[in-house]
């Protein structure tokens, strides 16, 4: 099996000297994801990864970082090799690279990063299987196997799969390609949330001007989107999918009728999380 470690070997890089970092920050709905930073403004991604929590210092103690970004559909893209030197606590306030608010002095560690030429030809083209352990985002290069899934000729975002086949997690909505966001933000209809722990389902409608994307951002930001039954549950990274779309002429009454019909079909009042 060809793995990322194999590429390190071929480049004569000691695996033990490398830490693999997977960036997929889901704390700021409505703002650019690390993937979007890399795609649109790579200097901001460098600024983003240059500050790390104090608690991560031991894990990050290595001369080289191999950086990856998470993309919709649990895909992981290699974006480059860096040399990394710990400077110390952030010396002064600075704008946060994602949300633009203040990142206070002394709140985190600052690292001095330098782009490396090793494996640069694979940046933006190499996709790996990170596995299910997304919380383990700083593994050692000599302790993990990250299979290579695809090497493309050039960087290109995946095509929108269509409304009927789209399945995502709420945590993935800020990593969507612009074409996906545009399609979801301009379309209204009926959607389904499924709790990954309990398998309970919730049928809802996206009726606002921001379409499915705007409604799903509400859930991601609040954990419940204002729904009574979801408020009673622990926060969950719900799976989202689309049951039916409507045209621009559809009224709220039309959407309410469709929503009620889907609740009946799926028995989401009796067996799920709907309460009306």
Please compute the mean of the pLDDT values over residues 93-117 and round it to a whole number: 95
The pLDDT assigned to 133 comes to: 62
Question: What's the pLDDT at 131?
Answer: 85
Other Cβ atoms less than 10 A from the Cβ of 116: the count is: 16
> Which residues does residue 20 pair with via DSSP β-bridges, in sequence order?
66
The boundaries of every CATH 3.40.1440 domain in the chain are 167-266
Q: How many CB atoms lie within 10 A of CB 40?
A: 11
Q: What is the DSSP letter of 3?
A: B
Determine which of 91-95, 148-152, 218-222 has the lowest per-residue pLDDT on average.
218-222
CB 89 within 8 A of CB 53: no
pLDDT above 70 (res 81): yes
pLDDT at 46 over 90: yes
Task: Encode pLDDT of 153-212 as tens digits.
Answer: 888 777 888 999 999 988 888 778 888 999 999 999 999 999 988 899 999 999 999 999
Q: What is the DSSP string of 145-179?
A: --BEEEE-SS--PPPP--TTT-EEEGGGGGG--HH
pLDDT for the residue numbered 74: 66
Provide the percentage of residues in the chain whose pLDDT is more than 90.
Answer: 67
If one compares 50 and 31, the residue with the highest pLDDT of the two is 50
Does the pLDDT at position 73 exceed 70?
no
Dihedral sign of CA atoms 59, 65, 69, 75 in order:
negative
Of 215 and 134, the structure prediction assigns the larger pLDDT to 215
How many CB atoms are closer than 10 A to CB 36? 21
pLDDT band (50, 70, 90) for residue 223: confident
Predicted pLDDT at 134: 57
Helix extents (H) in the chain: 4-10, 34-40, 42-50, 178-185, 211-222, 228-231, 252-266
pLDDT reported for residue 219: 87
Structure confidence at residue 126 (pLDDT): 95
248-257 residue pLDDT tens: 999 999 999 9
Question: Considering the chain, what percentage of its residues have pLDDT values greater than 70?
Answer: 97
**What pLDDT shows up at residue 135?**
61
Fold of 167-266: GIY-YIG endonuclease (3.40.1440)
């Amino acid at each position: 099996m060809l793995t990322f470690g194999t590429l390190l070997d071929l480049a004569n890089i000691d695996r033990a000297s490398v830490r693999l970092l997977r960036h997929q920050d889901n704390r700021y709905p409505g703002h650019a994801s690390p993937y979007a930073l890399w795609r649109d403004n790579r200097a901001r991604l460098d600024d983003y990864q240059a500050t790390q929590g104090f608690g991560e210092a031991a894990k990050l103690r290595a001369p080289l970082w191999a950086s990856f970004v998470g993309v919709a559909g649990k895909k992981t893209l290699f974006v480059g090799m860096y040399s990394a030197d710990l400077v110390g606590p952030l010396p002064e306030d600075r704008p946060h690279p994602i949300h633009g608010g203040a990142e206070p002095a002394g709140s985190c560690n600052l690292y001095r990063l330098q782009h490396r030429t090793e494996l640069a030809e694979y940046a933006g083209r190499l996709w790996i299987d990170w596995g299910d352990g997304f919380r383990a985002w700083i593994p050692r290069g000599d302790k993990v196997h990250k299979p290579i899934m695809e090497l493309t000729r050039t960087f290109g975002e995946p095509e929108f799969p269509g409304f009927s086949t789209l399945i995502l997690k709420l945590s993935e909505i800020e990593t969507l390609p612009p074409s996906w966001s545009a399609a979801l933000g301009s379309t209204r209809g009926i959607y389904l949330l499924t709790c990954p722990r309990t398998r309970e389902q919730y049928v809802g409608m996206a009726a606002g001007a921001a379409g499915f994307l705007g409604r799903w951002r509400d859930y991601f930001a609040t954990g419940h989107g204002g729904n009574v039954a979801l408020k009673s549950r622990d926060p969950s990274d719900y799976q989202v999918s689309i049951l039916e779309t409507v045209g621009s002429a559809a009224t709220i009454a039309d959407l309410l009728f469709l929503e009620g019909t889907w609740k009946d079909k799926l028995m989401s009042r009796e067996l799920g999380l709907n309460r009306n």
